[in-house]
Amino acid sequence: MSRRSLLLGLAVGAGAALAGCGVPAAYVQPGDRARRDESGRDKTLDFANWPLYIDTDDEDAAKRPTLDAFTERTGISVHYTEEINDNDEFFGKISPALMNHQETGRDLIVVSDWMAARFTRLGWVQEMDRARQPNVAKYLDPQLRSPAFDEGRRHSVPWQSGITGIAYNRGKLGREIKSTGDLWADDLRGRVTLLSGLDESFALLMQGNGVDVTRWKEDDFHAMCEQVEKLVRKRHIRRFTGNDYIKDLSTGDVLACQAYSGDVIQLQADNPDIEFVVPEEGAELWAESLMIPNLARHKRNAEALIDHYYDPEVAAELAAWVNYVCPVPAARDVLADSDDEELAALAEDPLIFPDDAMRERLAISRDITSTERSPFAKRWNAIVGL
């Protein structure tokens, strides 16, 4: 399952239950989020991440060069687990501890920005000490510095970023796609897919209708749903997908689809006819962010590791492996100066380092609030067939 995919039934999971019956009770006051930090005497750190989301050694997949470099430099050993396969599933795993003011056993986690918004609203993550993170303060991408759910990025720091846009097979389609509206042309009837997850899909579709997604309204959501409902009735939309759109696009079963920038880089390596488009009306810029849960035992160690990954040299090494939008623009110069031609070429890839023209069309969407989530998910899931 994709990192960006939701479990079926968004509105009936653990998060929705909290939203519907007791967010105030689950909320943790700022003064109750920290415990005595053991970082000084215990040089360890527990880091939970998604699968395949960190660099590995070409000859030994168990080795992670950027993590090993951190341990060598600081003496802090990292217990790294790839245990996050879905945002809601992970939320369900650690929420009982957090709502009961207990430690989770993890010092650092990575969740998608819509889930990061939920953790922040509930008061389940700690504010970071930027004085201990000079690289973050200096090198964090300005466009990612202050999302609506965490103004000033006090509780979160992007691990990697990405773009939700449009991928299409130009060779088979025989024309360009420049806007979201181009997906609804007659020659694409039955050959288009959209993402099934509400949080993954709605922003791009609203942008196609000219909505400023940083401040969208309820009416904008329902107008988008009505549009998609009509397209479903016409059988214009082939189906709604998770990351299996990759297979559909590769085989030619679909000619155009909603897609993530990082996936398309991999597709293009096998098929140069596959193109990724940031539509003229705009596309969503998202992030998956590092957060320190309440009562983490090694907060200072976690802050140090985050800052390690904001060293441009380290960020460049990670970006070259994961191929998502790098949240450290200065890493581009590191790759550009590489003697390795393939690495140097990555510096020119706008899907890893968006240029100014592309950035003007990118926006971080306002999150779906806790009161909106249940009715919105119910309507969207009815359209998608979940």
Q: Look over the chain and give the mean of its residue pLDDT values, rounded to a whole number.
A: 92
Query: What is the pLDDT, as a whole number, of residue 266?
Result: 82
Distance, CA of 386 to CA of 381 (rounded, Å): 5
pLDDT at 57 over 50: yes
Assess whether pLDDT exceeds 60 at residue 4.
no
* Integer CA distances (angstroms), 68 to 64, 80, 106, 166, 315, in order: 6, 11, 19, 37, 14
Looking at residue 243, what is its pLDDT?
Answer: 83
Say how far apart CA 111 and CA 48 lie, in whole Å.
10
Separation CA 325–CA 161 (nearest Å): 5
Mean pLDDT for the stretch of residues 281-287 = 97
pLDDT at 359 over 50: yes
Distance CA 316, CA 322 (A): 10
Band of the pLDDT at 144, cuts 50, 70, 90?
A: very high
pLDDT at 12 over 70: no
Q: In this predicted structure, what is the pLDDT of residue 1?
A: 38
Residue 24, CB-side half-sphere exposure with 13 Å CA sphere? 0
Residue 208 has pLDDT above 50, yes or no: yes
| Model pLDDT, residue 269 | 85
| pLDDT exceeds cutoff 80 at 58 | yes
Q: Kindly state the helix (H) or strand (E) to which residue 331 belongs, with its residue range.
A: helix 331-336
- How far apart (Å, rounded) are the C-alpha atoms in residues 182 and 187? 10
Show the DSSP H helices in 65-167 as ranges. Answer: 65-74, 87-99, 113-122, 134-139
pLDDT of residue 107: 98
Percent of the chain's residues with pLDDT above 70: 94
**pLDDT tens sequence across 60-71:** 988 999 999 999
Banded pLDDT at 10 (limits 50, 70, 90): very low
Rounded mean pLDDT of 366-386? 94
What pLDDT was estimated at residue 8?
Answer: 30
340-346-347-348 Cα dihedral, nearest 10 degrees: 120
Instruction: Give residue 18's pLDDT.
Output: 52
On the question of pLDDT at 16 being above 70, the answer is: no
pLDDT above 90 for 89: yes
Q: How far is CA 312 from the centre of its chain?
A: 20
Q: What value does the mean pLDDT take over residues 151-176?
A: 96
Residue whose structure tokens are 């380290």: 314
Interval 295-322 mean pLDDT: 98
Task: Identify the H or E element spanning 251.
Answer: helix 245-251
- The pLDDT value given to residue 108: 98
**pLDDT-based confidence at 25, cuts 50/70/90?**
low
